Amino acid sequence: MFKSKEQFKEAFIDKMQTLFGQSLDESSTTDKYVALSTLLREVISKRWYQSNKQYRATKEKQVYYFSMEFLLGRLLGSNLFNLGLTELCSEGLSELGIELDQLEAVEHDAGLGNGGLGRLAACFLDSMASLQLPGHGTGIRYRHGMFEQKIVDGYQIELPDNWLRDGYVWEMRKADRAVTVKFGGHVRLEEQGGRLIAVHENYEPVLAVPYDVPVVGANCNTVNTLRLWSAETNHFDFSSFSKGDFLKAVEHKYSLEATSQILYPDDNYPEGKTLRLKQQYFFVSAGLQSIVRRYKRTHGAAPAALARIHEKVAIHINDTHPALAVPELMRILMDEEGLGWDEAWYTTRKTISYTNHTILPEALEKWPIDLVQALLPRMYMIIHEINERFCADLWKKYPNQWERIRDMAIIGDCYVRMANLAVVGSHSVNGVAAVHSEILKKEVMANFHQFYPHRFNNKTNGVTHRRWLAKANPKLATLITETIGSGWLAHPNELASLHRYAHDPAFQAGIKAVKQANKEKLAHYIQNKMNIAVDVNSIFDVQVKRIHAYKRQTLNALHILDLYNRLKADPNLDIEPRTFIFGGKSATGYYLAKRIIKFINTLAHVINNDRAIGGKIKVAFLENYSVSLAELIMPAADVSEQISTASREASGTGNMKFMMNGAVTIGTLDGANIEIRDEVGDDNIVIFGLTADEVLSYYKHGGYNALDIYHGNPRVRTVVDQLMNGFLPVSPDEFHSIHHSLMRTNDEYFVLKDFPDYAAAQETVASLYRDQSRWQAMAINNIAFSGRFASDRTVSEYAIGIWGTKPVVIRES
């Protein structure tokens, strides 16, 4: 580590010479970024080595968090922060005439995820390392991560994400740890010495090569590992090649390596493509093989040792995407390590735990039997056997209850149901917010809850306050530390003492000034990027998240249209000026979501260019919402839009990032919004709309008619008509699909039903904002009570309640 600024500067200049053979003034910004990151990586590597050494020596239990997605964002800034080097390096660089911010901006976001689920995994890695827990990530090194979104003429255009173009300094290829994953072929059961042995023949081998990314803990020496698997092959088809068919040989190599080429850009809507199933098995099999290999080195390779793997290894599956971990661990323990079924089943269940992320029926993963059988024959055999035994148990407890058993079976209607597999094959099933966990127990998984009452629990999500407060909003962090000391950095619950300053005029002024500076920074970005001038004294009202019918960007947009109508009718209408900011990507094949993007951009075009309303409202859709853009937006928000149909958003984490940065939530009683309200109290949040129970009751028993609202409410009728009547400068059926979803399929997400209450809630927001002292007090209370939503709290609950893991204090290396 660097003892002083001087020593750092020397090392930096030296690194520039040894890496690139050039001096500082000859170097590009990219070179400087690479030199700085490489320097840090050397510091990190020593701690990494020491961490692994102690993990082996202490033999403490290890956690492996399996996730198809890790939405890491940039790592330079967070690594500097966690190493405690931000100040030293930024000052040192500045003395060399270099802005640290500019170097950070060079890094490509590691966008290996879609949204909330992938970002949660990234926050958990940060918290596990910072709590000194031996916890690692297992995932896929997608050659192309989340696509880059451009907005052209109001429409989303997708560009491939080429994040590895300039190399990735944070990864380390470990070719010697590669393993083989087998696809297709046939499995024969053969008797050998009184045991049935599975013989897998004619399979297609894919080589899985790990790329390790260090995960640096804050204020400790812990460095954990995120192991990302890449599909490669050393199996070049020489028979084709030697026959002169060079292209065929290359094609074959390419098709094997395709497995880790792309991230499927679907959020809460899994695509049932063969390649996706291949990805799932690929990283699950590779990950488990490497874990078992490591376990055997540390704890012994005899079957008796493997029968106790759950004592030293916890495997957590993030949603059902890695649910093949259940049959794959069974396969390894039985076919490769010689355990019998009962022993293997006992230890598999004790090892694996599962987080459910959604109750949206269309998001529940299921795979056609034919596909599983053809691509993963051994997996299918094991799943089939698990199902047979499970159904036999059910029959014993519930004789003749066919309906119930049909509902709970792992295989049914020609599909393998991954959630059922995950529940049966694990010892813990958790939801991600209190209301979501209750709905799981009472509705979606009620039969499972009755059968396994102790398996279900709740772990409310969190976000790392290091990235989302300290690093993203340094001015706020400084103000907080000046006011209550720096204890909150290690113990975010200490933020609560800010509550005492909620009505302190000086502190309010400080909070306001910080927000204003952050708004100016975002306004600059909007001006430069989109050529829209926004009023930094207006309310920054922000909805950024994936575009989805259930998240109801449509509700927000229709309300903006209504506000615009009222302003047109009365240009002197006394409203609080507002800037409506949107951001978010649509899945590539999600037609309705793409029209919602066009709708918002059309509103922006009309409203921003209408001089008659005197600039009182503006609309900006920021393209390419990503972790880095979120870090710019969250600190600048006054109002956080969390308006999903109650019961549909499992938790949300965007809501927590906004709260930490002092935005006031306007939201439904959904997901973690409910717990945010519980923390801040009704006076510091604006709640509206149907409750989850009301929504679930409508879904179950009917009773809602969207046309009643349309006919009964003139403001609603006007904005719905404006979608189709030529009011907007688009072709007549441009927004037909939005209109249709509201009027013809009875408004599945209750947009019209909640509209009047939402509009009233927005008036409440405006009148609260007018009382600036009141508003600043609300902002302060939101920051003060955000400690509960730090992922350190969440992860320590997982460690104690599910994984049974303890911290390991890593010595200085």
Ligand X SMILES: *Cc1c(COP(=O)(O)O)cnc(C)c1O
Category of 127 on φ-ψ map: left (φ > 0), alpha (ψ -120 to 50) or beta: alpha
Active site residue 740: no
739 part of the interface to ligand X, by CB under 6 A = no
Taking residue 251's Cβ as centre, other Cβ atoms within 10 Å add up to 13
> Applying CB under 6 A, which of residues 652, 667, 689, 787 lies at the interface with ligand X?
652
**315 or 627, CB closer to ligand X?**
627
Closest distance to ligand X from the beta carbon of 562 (Å): 23
Given candidates 327, 492, 654, 787, which one binds ligand X under the rule CB under 6 A? 654
Q: How far is the CB of 672 from ligand X (least distance, A)?
A: 9
Q: Binding to ligand X by residue 653, rule CB under 6 A?
A: yes
Nearer to ligand X, 522 or 627 (CB): 627
**Calpha distance 205→199 (Å, rounded):** 15
Least distance from C-beta 120 to ligand X, angstroms?
Answer: 8
- For ligand X, the closer of residues 456 and 625 by Cβ is 625
Among residues 211, 226, 213, which one has the least CA distance to residue 174? 211
The interaxial angle of helices 714-722 and 553-569, nearest 10 deg, is 100
Q: Which is nearer to ligand X, 546 or 788 (CB)?
A: 546
At position 26, the amino acid (one-letter code) is E
Nearest approach, Cβ of 652 to ligand X (angstroms)? 4
**Which is nearer to ligand X, 116 or 134 (by Cβ)?**
116
Q: Choose the stretch contacting ligand X; rule: CB under 6 A; options: 115-123, 699-707, 723-731, 732-740.
A: 115-123
For residue 99, the minimal CB distance to ligand X (Å) is 24
Which of 156, 356, 579, 626 is the binder for ligand X (CB under 6 A)?
A: 626
- Per CB under 6 A, the list member of 119, 441, 578, 788 interacting with ligand X is 119
Q: Is 627 in the site for ligand X (CB under 6 A)?
A: yes
Given the residues 74, 182, 331, 357, select the one marked as catalytic.
Answer: 357
**Which residue's structure tokens are 């049966």?**
424
The two structure tokens encoding residue 508: 């309010």
Number of helices (H), then strands (E), in the chain: 34, 25
> In this structure, are residues 579 and 620 in contact, taking their beta carbons and an 8 Å threshold?
yes
Q: Is 431 in the site for ligand X (CB under 6 A)?
A: no
CA 627, distance to chain mean position in Å, is 10
Location of structure tokens 């960007």: 553
How far is residue 216's CA from residue 132's CA, in Å, rounded to a whole number? 10
Q: Dihedrals φ, ψ of 653, to 5°?
A: -130, -20
> Which of 77, 116, 217, 787 is close enough to bind ligand X by CB under 6 A?
116
Which span sits near ligand X by CB under 6 A: 189-197, 271-279, 309-317, 620-628?
A: 620-628
Q: Is 115 in the site for ligand X (CB under 6 A)?
A: yes
Measured between alpha carbons, how far is 670 from 506 in angstroms, rounded to an integer? 35
CB 137 within 8 A of CB 70: yes
Give residues 283-322 in contact with ligand X (rule: CB under 6 A). Answer: none
Task: Give SS3 for 567.
Answer: helix
- Measure the CA–CA gap between 382 and 331, rounded to whole angstroms: 8
Catalytic annotation, pick one of 61, 74, 182, 545: 545
Tell me, yes or no, if 653 is annotated catalytic.
yes
Stretch that binds ligand X, among 89-97, 114-122, 242-250, 594-602 (CB under 6 A): 114-122
- Pairing status of strand 664-667 against strand 639-642: parallel
Residue 149 or 290 with smaller CB distance to ligand X:
149
Q: Which of 9, 331, 545, 739 binds ligand X (CB under 6 A)?
A: 545
Under a CB-based contact definition with an 8 Å cutoff, are residues 628 and 74 in contact?
yes
Q: Output the smallest distance, CB 634 to ligand X, in A.
A: 8
Report the distance separating Cα 631 and Cα 628, nearest Å: 5
Query: Do 376 and 281 meet the contact criterion of CB atoms below 8 Å apart?
Result: yes
Is 357 annotated as catalytic? yes
At residue 590's C-alpha, the angle toward residues 587 and 592, to 5°, is 130
Size of the site for ligand X (CB under 6 A): 13
Q: Does 630 bind ligand X (CB under 6 A)?
A: yes
Binding residues for ligand X (CB under 6 A): 115-116, 119, 545-546, 625-627, 630, 652-654, 657
Q: Which residues are catalytic?
A: 357, 545-546, 551, 653, 657
